Structure 1
């Protein structure tokens, strides 16, 4: 890092379960900078890595709404918004969040970590099974629900639209999967840096789902490996019940068409 040069914070923001963790790591790998953590929080962020890297940039992961970012004192920042098909967000979120049918049970065990872990397993397998969790997650994406999680207290549309209105730099998760190199070139151009084809390809290879999972498993970091799941697009075709498919197409039809997301008939 050059002395006297101001550090620029790269903020990778998006609705929860939009692929923020992968893309934050990928951007940091392209830039050669650290992933410091979750913006404005001291919790142990799973995306955090590369703290030894020296750079005039640093990356943060974020799920903040646009007005919340405006309220955080950041001298120099570049924001990248991650957009993902809300139906795939629904499946990923229903598997990740502790979605409870009877939240008071969770509160009873919350002060006892071992008991709470057992409760979470029972909740997922018996009390709040997949179909129920998907239903609740779909409602959170469409209407917002702080009961599911604080970061989904607003709907998906209410989260992304203010960023779009401010002409924030957008990347689609699906485009990064399908045209990774081209999208990486867009990102580095937006950041105002230069990278060779070899550097871009090396960053993509290192941060691929397959190689990253292999790295985590080799280090015994099972939680980080599990967090990545599969990374595939259009999982909703097989994973979403018909009721939720119809719900998304009815309530978010305009957005699905606007961003080029396929419908069940396509």
Structure 2
């Protein structure tokens, strides 16, 4: 686990270090009309992604930035681990999901070739809108967990995240950020367009929608629903372990090990946020 997790933290720390020496206007680039962070994504990677061949047993978590994807990643990787232990008699926490940076659009253009060698089921995360994902994902009816969060909380969390992360442009005031947020000038584009595009797929049988709010209200029930969607059978002991490991307190405690330099930024408060106007 340490070896594969180090790959994750090394990429994050490298991107953070590169961004710290860049000017604000250099931090984002545009691809097909949407902005992305240059230290995490590249046009070459996006072009290579188009020919990525998805497997029917892949699992994808889709969510706009600051919707709770890191939280759901913990839950989903634990559930996949349970499934692996049951079907292949493995022990401990599986490593395969971290052999490549789990965000599908993040990394070098050669990662997709390396991913062909990963065992199934492969777990991936994406902030991309559906029209920008490889066609094979929908052709092969990959199971997609679509995570949605209240736009006010997404925007507020994104504001604090941008001001704490070197790879994203920072803002002196909330008003400045909100103007960019509403005019598609933040990384991964407009949240409302994101929701609109994904809504077209919401009724597909291979796609399950879950909200940040319902999971926060009853994490136990939410984990049960996700496990049922993925057709993973859990004992009560396994269920409780997944629930406990995905608590905000547990994830924040381990954030430096699991997410490197941005751990404290990602797991800042874990609740509804308010912006204080000054």
Shift of 1:196: 1.0
Partner of 2:275: 239
1:162 corresponds in structure 2 to 200
Are residue 152 (structure 1) and residue 201 (structure 2) matched?
Answer: no
**Cα contact 2:174–2:275 (8 A) shared by 1:** no
1:31 aligns to what SS in structure 2? helix
Q: Root-mean-square deviation (CA), in Å?
A: 3.4
Structure 1 residue corresponding to 2:62, chosen from 3, 7, 13: 13
Partners of 2:191 and 2:216 in 1: how far apart? 28
Using CA pairs below 8 Å that are at least 6 residues apart, which structure has the higher relative contact order? 2
* C-alpha contact (below 8 Å) 1:91/1:239 kept by paired residues: yes
Distance 1:219 1:30, change over 3 A: closer
Say which of 128, 133, 151 aligns to 2:177. Answer: 133
Distance 1:218-1:31 versus aligned 2 partners, 3 A rule: closer
Counterpart-to-counterpart distance in 1, 2:188 and 2:268: 22
The answer as to whether partners of 2:151 and 2:191 remain within 8 angstroms in 1 is no
1:224 matched residue in structure 2: 263
Q: Which runs of 5+ in 2 are unaligned?
A: 1-54, 82-93, 109-117
Cα contact 2:162–2:168 (8 A) shared by 1: no
Change beyond 3 A, Cα 1:191–1:131: same
Instruction: State the distance in 2 between where 1:219 and 1:189 align.
Output: 27
Residue aligning to 1:69: 133
> TM-score scaled by structure 2?
0.60
SS of equivalent to 2:58: strand
Matches of 2:167 and 2:200, distance apart in 1: 40
Per the TM alignment, residue 178 of structure 1 is displaced from its structure 2 partner at its CA by 1.2
Instruction: Please name the residue that 1:27 is paired with.
Output: 76
Task: For 1:132 and 1:220, locate their aligned partners in 2 and report how far apart those are by CA, in whole Å.
Answer: 28
Q: Secondary structure at the match of 1:164?
A: coil
Helix, strand or coil at the partner of 1:8 = coil
Larger Rg: 1
SS at match of 1:169: strand
TM-aligned CA distance change 1:71 to 1:28, over 3 Å: same
Aligned pairs for 1:1-266 within 5 A: 8-32=57-81, 34-35=97-98, 36=100, 37-42=102-107, 56-69=120-133, 71-72=135-136, 75=140, 77-97=142-162, 123-124=170-171, 128-137=172-181, 139-140=182-183, 145=184, 147-152=185-190, 155-166=193-204, 168-217=207-256, 221-233=260-272, 235=273, 238-239=274-275
Q: Structure 2 vs 1, CA of residues 162 and 226 (structure 1 numbering), >3 Å: closer, same or farther?
A: same
Q: How far does residue 29 in structure 1 lie from its aligned partner after superposition?
A: 0.9
Distance 1:184 1:118 in 2: 32
- Aligned residue for 2:232, secondary structure, equals coil
**What is the number of equivalent residue pairs in this alignment?**
197
Cα distance, 1:76 vs. partner?
6.3
Which residue of structure 1 lines up, in the alignment, with residue 18 of structure 2?
A: none
TM-score by length of 1: 0.62
CA distance in 2, matches of 1:165, 1:148: 28
